[in-house]
Structure 1
Amino acid sequence: MRRRNVLAASAAVTTAGLLAGSAPAAHARNGRRVRTGFANLAASGYRELRGQRVGIISNPTGITSDLSHEVDVMHFDSDVDLRAVFGPEHGFRGTSQAGQGEDFFEDPKTGLPVYNAYNDPQKMKDYFAERELETVVFDIQDVGSRFYTYIWTMYLAMDAAAQAGCRFVVLDRPNPTTASNAYGPILHEKFATFVGLKPISQRHGMTVGELAELFNGEFLDNAVDLTVVEMSGWRRRMSFDETGLPWVPPSPNMPQIGTARLYPGTCLFEASALSEGRGTTLPFQLIGAPDIDHRWEEALNKQKIPGVRFREAYFVPTFSKWSGKTCGGVEVQVTDYDRFDPIRTALAMIITQREVFPKYGWRTESDPNAHPWIDKLTGSAQVRKAIEAGADVDEVMEGWKSELDDFRDVRAEYLRYR
């Protein structure tokens, strides 16, 4: 990987400057422990945006402490010249399902134009120029997994902003899953898709602000003028429950924080013939297919996988795979989040299911020349080939160890928080 010495040039906004004269939020006996990047930006009187023509990339998670949306707050504040809004996958208002954005509309509350920024960097660049933007802001709650597409919308927007001559400001938010380390297989660039564009680990263990600096320093051909407005009071080992921040579903199938904790692993079932629970009230927690029964649950629980138990479950998805069909399978119940490893657990589930119910294999692709979906999610053919060759979980994980160690070394250069 290339390294550029961009950290010194990146105009990081310090907590001390934004909160001068106030007690640190983490030390408060009452109220919220963590202040988001937006909260610190607002506390500064929007210092980083004053005098600029501004556009923002956001979705329903871009909220303030009183649950107002920041677009509404900034639009009605004379210190901000907000010109346009951009929605990622699922849209600015979050009304679209996976693989879709929202069509252009004019926001009825603010009158602002809302553009679809999902996976179209050329259109983003054109929109930035059309609205004569000088600064593009990004504020979306990520969930910490490489295949969650918001970080790639940020990457493409950073590239488009650099080409359009715009500044880029990231308002940081917590990584709601374990952020103390990176984990899982590394993407190989020939497998790049919009569920993974650059070589980072499956669970990256970074905030969006940290990722933005990594993208700027390692992957962009032309670095953007980047500012990260940090959080205050956040520590890497914090659970999201400890932050005091409200959970707003960042996408339709991420309804609760527990879903986000499972997602780095059980999202791999998107690449299988089994339902990953889309179309149920427990996406990524209910996994199954027709004709699967109690034998899968029994085989899994015999393994005593740390931090997790499995319940025999039956469900009927209302959409997506096996829509309208009765599916048997398991509900994943985490018993100890400190011991739970979502990627190891998902690999054990896949390997065991293929042993007990071998009729269900990988999801088939309409294009026979396309990479299998499991390769796109894991980032290479290594995991699939190891499973097909009969490897156990430890052997599969050993296959990515050296690449993960290399990525961890690079990642360490861009971490901002204790």
Structure 2
Amino acid sequence: MKPSARGRLRPSGAASLASMLIVALAALALATFGAEGRGATARQRVRTGLEVLLDHRLDLIRGKRVGIITNPTGILPDLRHGVDALAAAEGVELVAIFGPEHGFRGSAQAGGSEGSYVDERTGVLVYDLYGKDRDAIAQLFRQTGVDAVLFDIQDVGTRYYTYIWTMADALEAAALTGTEFIVLDRPNPTGGIRAEGPVLDPAYSSFVGRYPIAQRHGMTVGELALMFNEVFVPERTGGRRARLTVVPMQGWFRDMYFEETGLPWVMPSPNMPTVDTAMVYIGTGLIEGTNLSEGRGTTRPFELVGAPYVDWRLSQRLDGLNLPGVRFREAYFAPTFSKYAGRTVGGIQLYVTDRDRFDPIRTAIAIMVEAKRLYGDRFQWRSDLWIDRLTGSSYVRTAIDAGRGVDEIVAGWQRDLAAFNALRERYLLYRLRGGGRFR
């Protein structure tokens, strides 16, 4: 059994006044937009926090030196980038752009960034945040003289996707420097009904998981920011919190997938081309911690999984498990980069047949369990034990090595998950269609 992280997940008393005001703003936005049924709501477009800021809340940043953490996803529905809109806004002094992993323009591959440079269109200097810890980010905030920092990035809903940890590091930096921090909320593209999967053991904290949250957190970046700032930031900053404001969306409901928002999809990173990718990535992102290819270097990353030693038996075995909401096809592919570049490998392609029933983390655990059972020592973990950072502890790796089945492995994290869900519920800003807050 994985060591419990429950002690780190206790809610820290009543929510702050700022948090309660933000919840009230979200409720007002929901009431204004309406709580229609599923079909009616699907025909109306969600308004992002960026839109709400530009249309109604520029008072938050007028007369201030403003920085923004963003990337190609920080756009308006007309495809104009928020940086361009802010640079043109009357009374707004945009002095710094901060780029996360993959860079402000999103051109770098995983584990890379674009460096620092001047944005030609606006003339604003772009600073590279990737690889910088909170102290280095705090120094950048001081160097640029920003009074307020905006965060506007489309997340994909998975703990090991690094943008939320750039936000966490920047929140800590803001707490240390007294800088205002404003999160412009965006949808969780894979929905926000439930959290799933193992909870990070704080002993395994890294840039793919700073705080003890579930692998599928089921929250928006705004909700996460509220929770981070209330519970985890003070633990690392001597009790200080950032001066945080969340600008909520209008018209987003927890049971929405991204296609229902009416918003344009922009790749959050080079290997996240579609919402379908984001859905499977919640689980098959774990494959990065093995010697199986996770499909990088193909046109279907994270939907294709394979290795030179894999044959038709893996798809047959997995399809025979009757996992909910997914089927498997025997597949062969030759990645153009990353693992097995230029080599033809055998494997599987996942087909999600029912998103509401699909359990991406159980599915990924099943893939690894069956690969271990079928191919023995040919199936291996990455030598740096990256799998432990991705799953949040050594529990999944050691359980698979010990020959445990999927049900037993999944059962092993339920206590920690229940504790996280109890904490998570305190910071949810949005409801289900029909009025319920969560399920």
In the superposition, the TM-score normalised over structure 1's length comes to 0.94
Q: Which has the higher contact order (CA 8 A, sep 6+)?
A: 2
Give CA-to-partner distance per residue, 1:124-145, whole Å, 9 cap, x none: 2122111211101001000000
The residue number in structure 1 matching 2:276 is 258
Kept in 2, the 8 Å contact 1:19–1:44? The answer is: no
Is 1:140 aligned to 2:153, yes or no? yes
What SS is found at the alignment partner of 1:214?
A: helix
Equivalent residue in structure 2 for 1:102, among 114, 138, 141: 114
Structure 1: stretches of 5+ with no match in the other structure: 367-371
Equivalent residue in structure 2 for 1:272, among 290, 303, 306: 290
Is 1:176 aligned to 2:183, yes or no? no
What CA distance in whole angstroms lies between the structure 2 residues aligned with 1:382 and 1:30?
Answer: 40
The residue number in structure 2 matching 1:161 is 174
Is 1:151 aligned to 2:169, yes or no? no
What CA distance in whole angstroms lies between the structure 2 residues aligned with 1:54 and 1:134?
Answer: 6
The residue number in structure 2 matching 1:303 is 321
Equivalent residue in structure 2 for 1:38, among 43, 47, 50: 50
What CA distance in whole angstroms lies between the structure 2 residues aligned with 1:143 and 1:170?
Answer: 16
Kindly tell me: are residues 26 and 43 of structure 1, through their superposed partners in 2, closer, same or farther at Cα, counting changes over 3 Å? Answer: farther
Is 1:64 aligned to 2:76, yes or no? yes
Equivalent residue in structure 2 for 1:358, among 367, 376, 379: 376
Kept in 2, the 8 Å contact 1:25–1:33? The answer is: no
Equivalent residue in structure 2 for 1:52, among 36, 50, 64: 64
1:360-399 → structure 2 map (5 Å cutoff): 360-365=378-383, 372-399=385-412
| Alpha-carbon offset, residue 5 of structure 1 | 4.1
Q: Tell me whether 57-66 or 126-135 shows the greater mean CA deviation.
A: 126-135
Give CA-to-partner distance per residue, 1:196-229, whole Å, 9 cap, x none: 0110000001100000011011111211010000
Give the letter for the 1:170 counterpart.
V
The residue number in structure 2 matching 1:214 is 227
What CA distance in whole angstroms lies between the structure 2 residues aligned with 1:403 and 1:25?
Answer: 33
What CA distance in whole angstroms lies between the structure 2 residues aligned with 1:104 and 1:280?
Answer: 29
Task: Give the number of equivalent residue pairs.
Answer: 412
What CA distance in whole angstroms lies between the structure 1 residues aligned with 2:404 and 2:27?
Answer: 51
What CA distance in whole angstroms lies between the structure 1 residues aligned with 2:27 and 2:373?
Answer: 56
Kindly tell me: are residues 345 and 185 of structure 1, through their superposed partners in 2, closer, same or farther at Cα, counting changes over 3 Å? Answer: same
Give the letter for the 2:25 counterpart.
T
| Alpha-carbon offset, residue 123 of structure 1 | 2.5
Structure 2: stretches of 5+ with no match in the other structure: 1-7, 235-239, 432-439
Kept in 2, the 8 Å contact 1:274–1:289? The answer is: yes
What CA distance in whole angstroms lies between the structure 1 residues aligned with 2:355 and 2:272?
Answer: 18
What CA distance in whole angstroms lies between the structure 2 residues aligned with 1:7 and 1:37?
Answer: 21
Kindly tell me: are residues 296 and 119 of structure 1, through their superposed partners in 2, closer, same or farther at Cα, counting changes over 3 Å? Answer: same
Give the letter for the 2:356 counterpart.
D
Give the letter for the 1:225 counterpart.
R
What CA distance in whole angstroms lies between the structure 2 residues aligned with 1:136 and 1:192?
Answer: 25
The residue number in structure 2 matching 1:202 is 215
In the superposition, the TM-score normalised over structure 2's length comes to 0.90
The residue number in structure 2 matching 1:186 is 199
Q: Tell me whether 330-339 or 45-54 shows the greater mean CA deviation.
A: 45-54
What CA distance in whole angstroms lies between the structure 1 residues aligned with 2:397 and 2:205?
Answer: 16
| Alpha-carbon offset, residue 47 of structure 1 | 2.2
| Alpha-carbon offset, residue 291 of structure 1 | 3.0
What CA distance in whole angstroms lies between the structure 2 residues aligned with 1:382 and 1:108?
Answer: 48
Kept in 2, the 8 Å contact 1:290–1:328? The answer is: yes
Give the letter for the 2:285 counterpart.
C
Is 1:246 aligned to 2:230, yes or no? no
Give the letter for the 2:324 counterpart.
P
Kindly tell me: are residues 338 and 158 of structure 1, through their superposed partners in 2, closer, same or farther at Cα, counting changes over 3 Å? Answer: same
1:282-321 → structure 2 map (5 Å cutoff): 282-321=300-339
What CA distance in whole angstroms lies between the structure 2 residues aligned with 1:31 and 1:340?
Answer: 25
What CA distance in whole angstroms lies between the structure 2 residues aligned with 1:29 and 1:304?
Answer: 33
What CA distance in whole angstroms lies between the structure 2 residues aligned with 1:199 and 1:178?
Answer: 20
The residue number in structure 2 matching 1:127 is 140
Kept in 2, the 8 Å contact 1:307–1:340? The answer is: yes
1:10-29 → structure 2 map (5 Å cutoff): 10=19, 12=22, 14=25
Kept in 1, the 8 Å contact 2:371–2:379? The answer is: no
Give the letter for the 1:114 counterpart.
V
Give CA-to-partner distance per residue, 1:146-171, whole Å, 9 cap, x none: 00000000000011111111010000
The residue number in structure 1 matching 2:4 is none
The residue number in structure 2 matching 1:369 is none
Give CA-to-partner distance per residue, 1:258-277, whole Å, 9 cap, x none: 00000110011001101000
Kindly tell me: are residues 245 and 95 of structure 1, through their superposed partners in 2, closer, same or farther at Cα, counting changes over 3 Å? Answer: same
Kindly tell me: are residues 15 and 42 of structure 1, through their superposed partners in 2, closer, same or farther at Cα, counting changes over 3 Å? Answer: farther
Q: Tell me whether 271-280 or 287-296 shows the greater mean CA deviation.
A: 287-296
| Alpha-carbon offset, residue 51 of structure 1 | 1.8
The residue number in structure 2 matching 1:232 is 250
Higher helix share: 2
What CA distance in whole angstroms lies between the structure 2 residues aligned with 1:25 and 1:114?
Answer: 40
Q: Between the two proteins, what is the percent identity of the paired residues?
A: 51
Is 1:349 aligned to 2:367, yes or no? yes
| Alpha-carbon offset, residue 360 of structure 1 | 3.0
What CA distance in whole angstroms lies between the structure 2 residues aligned with 1:179 and 1:19?
Answer: 16
